[in-house]
Structure 1
Amino acid sequence: MTAPTLRMTSLVAGYIPAHPVLRGVDVTARAGRITVVLGPNGAGKSTLLKVAAGFLAPQQGTVMLDGTDIGQLPAHRHIALGVGLLPQGRSTFPDLTVYENIELGGWSMRSDRKRLAAAVEAVLTRYPHLRALCDRPAGSLSGGQQRAVEIARMLVPDPKVLLVDEPSVGLSPIVARQVYQELQALKAEGRTILLVDQDVRAAVAVADYVYVLGSGRNDIEGDRSAFEGDLGAMVRGWLGV
């Protein structure tokens, strides 16, 4: 798999024009690597992913997918260009079946039912444990099973760039480890992964490169080895203790 580099430069973005959340952020995520963004609540981590996914246009700065600026394109164009988002928290539709939830990941293929069915089948082949659950309402599943459905849904269009927001939130430690193992497997396929998580220790453990944001700006950055020994002090600093 040949995945593009996602490069965000001098990003200014937010929800109220006069009060941006991101204030000149620079982040680069490269193919075959897990790039992690850390920071306290309110630092702008999820906002960064919304911009990368096309749900929020930057007020200033660029979002480059290799040589193409995609910053002003809507979310469905980002998907067509191979960018997928795993959103924070539960995002399954509880009254729809597991199959229907997964199928929604191929919404852009809805006019080509044969292609859509093949894409869903490929995902179910990858995650055979979901096949037995296909007829069940997604809301009847455990949190870990619903997370698996969300990952499967994201992969239906076979994105090359994965934006992952808080993948372990609300999950047991065992299930969270399984999610991180799957992210490492996706990395091994050569995909570009940009990961945000409040579980600092787990995120750093799988990271190739780490950015830390503070108040919507770049604070520090470096390879994983630069962060492994000082995680406790970092988090205490965020909490002011």
Structure 2
Amino acid sequence: MLEIRDIRTSYGKIAALKGVSLEIREGGLTCLLGPNGAGKTTLIWTIAGILKAQSGSMRLGDDELAGLKPHQIVEKGVVTVPENRLVFPEMTVTENLVAGAFSRRRQKGDVAEDLDAVLDRFPRLRERASQEAGTLSGGEQQMLAVGRALMARPKILLMDEPSTGLAPIIVEEIFEIIGQLRDEGRTIFLVEQNANLALDYADHFYLLEQGHVTFGGDPATVDHDDLIARAYLGARKAS
């Protein structure tokens, strides 16, 4: 669905992405693994238009995303669930969800239907619909961030470290939600530090090291321990 070719992104003179190429496949969960500082969040921000690529191509079907502004990329159907949730803390749960449909604000009837569907999906959000988002637990805020993204009717969900700062039992719950979305045929690009869980849910994965994609494949065909050792310890597991 989304083809990324030779993307290069820098912070000033510091090159963060050094010619990244990968594909986010339609109707599946593609996972990006790598150590801290590898450029994973930089790639999410580049796809989302928050950072501008110096060169390269990001094609969604016939549309070129490179060079578009963030709101234009959302309108094309590429929507981000950011790291640390970033909900609007002084707005209610309902107001946060409606904000996610800003690009569809003229479709009032459809937005109302989608709001009801999201609240059905996340009963705890329905219970707290009039509550300020900043008073929710971390897990509830993560559900809200996912629900807010769904309100945009995304073609692709970009999910950046959804397990950050959450208790293990809540992480499992969040991944069950991610698995449900994948099973519904949604296209997901997941950046995640919890490699074991991510590989359990992924249909395809890539390894990013120092701004380069160094490996990619089907999680079922690789030794997970070996891959995780390479991704987070910088070396292959001793044989």
Q: TM-score, normalised by structure 2?
A: 0.92
Aligned partner (choices 62, 81, 85) of residue 80 of structure 2: 85
1:115-134 to structure 2, matched below 5 A, reads 115-134=110-129
SS in 1 for 2:162: coil
CA contact (8 A) 1:34 1:207 kept: yes
CA contact (8 A) 2:47 2:58 kept: yes
**CA–CA separation in structure 1 for the residues paired with 2:218 and 2:105:** 41
Aligned partner (choices 142, 150, 159) of residue 145 of structure 2: 150
**TM superposition shift of 1:139:** 1.4
Are 1:14 and 2:10 counterparts?
yes
**CA–CA separation in structure 1 for the residues paired with 2:46 and 2:232:** 28
**CA–CA separation in structure 2 for the residues paired with 1:57 and 1:168:** 26
Matched letter for residue 160 of structure 1: K
**TM superposition shift of 1:237:** 2.6
CA contact (8 A) 2:81 2:149 kept: yes
**TM superposition shift of 1:137:** 1.1
Mark the runs of 5 or more structure 1 residues left unpaired by the alignment.
none
Instruction: Tell me what 2:201 maps to.
Output: 206
Alpha-carbon displacement from aligned partner over 1:175-223 (angstroms, at most 9, x marks no partner): 1111111111111222211110111111111111111111101111111
User: Cα gap change, 1:236/1:15 in structure 2, threshold over 3 Å: closer, same or farther?
Assistant: closer
**TM superposition shift of 1:101:** 1.2
Q: TM-score, normalised by structure 1?
A: 0.91
Are 1:104 and 2:99 counterparts?
yes
User: Cα gap change, 1:232/1:217 in structure 2, threshold over 3 Å: closer, same or farther?
Assistant: closer
Aligned-pair identity in percent equals 37
CA contact (8 A) 2:80 2:157 kept: yes
User: Cα gap change, 1:214/1:232 in structure 2, threshold over 3 Å: closer, same or farther?
Assistant: closer
Are 1:218 and 2:201 counterparts?
no
RMSD: 1.9
Matched letter for residue 194 of structure 2: D
**TM superposition shift of 1:125:** 2.5
**TM superposition shift of 1:162:** 0.6
Alpha-carbon displacement from aligned partner over 1:65-99 (angstroms, at most 9, x marks no partner): 02221111111111111111000013112221111
Q: May I ask how many residue pairs the two structures share in their alignment?
A: 236
Matched letter for residue 41 of structure 2: S
1:1-241 to structure 2, matched below 5 A, reads 5-16=1-12, 18-225=13-220, 226-235=222-231, 237-238=233-234
User: Cα gap change, 1:134/1:60 in structure 2, threshold over 3 Å: closer, same or farther?
Assistant: same
**CA–CA separation in structure 2 for the residues paired with 1:239 and 1:7:** 29
**CA–CA separation in structure 1 for the residues paired with 2:164 and 2:114:** 28
**CA–CA separation in structure 2 for the residues paired with 1:159 and 1:235:** 29
**TM superposition shift of 1:227:** 4.0
Alpha-carbon displacement from aligned partner over 1:123-180 (angstroms, at most 9, x marks no partner): 2122233111001111111111111111110100211201000000111111111111
Mark the runs of 5 or more structure 2 residues left unpaired by the alignment.
none
SS in 2 for 1:28: strand
**TM superposition shift of 1:239:** 8.4
**CA–CA separation in structure 1 for the residues paired with 2:232 and 2:166:** 23
CA contact (8 A) 2:3 2:22 kept: yes
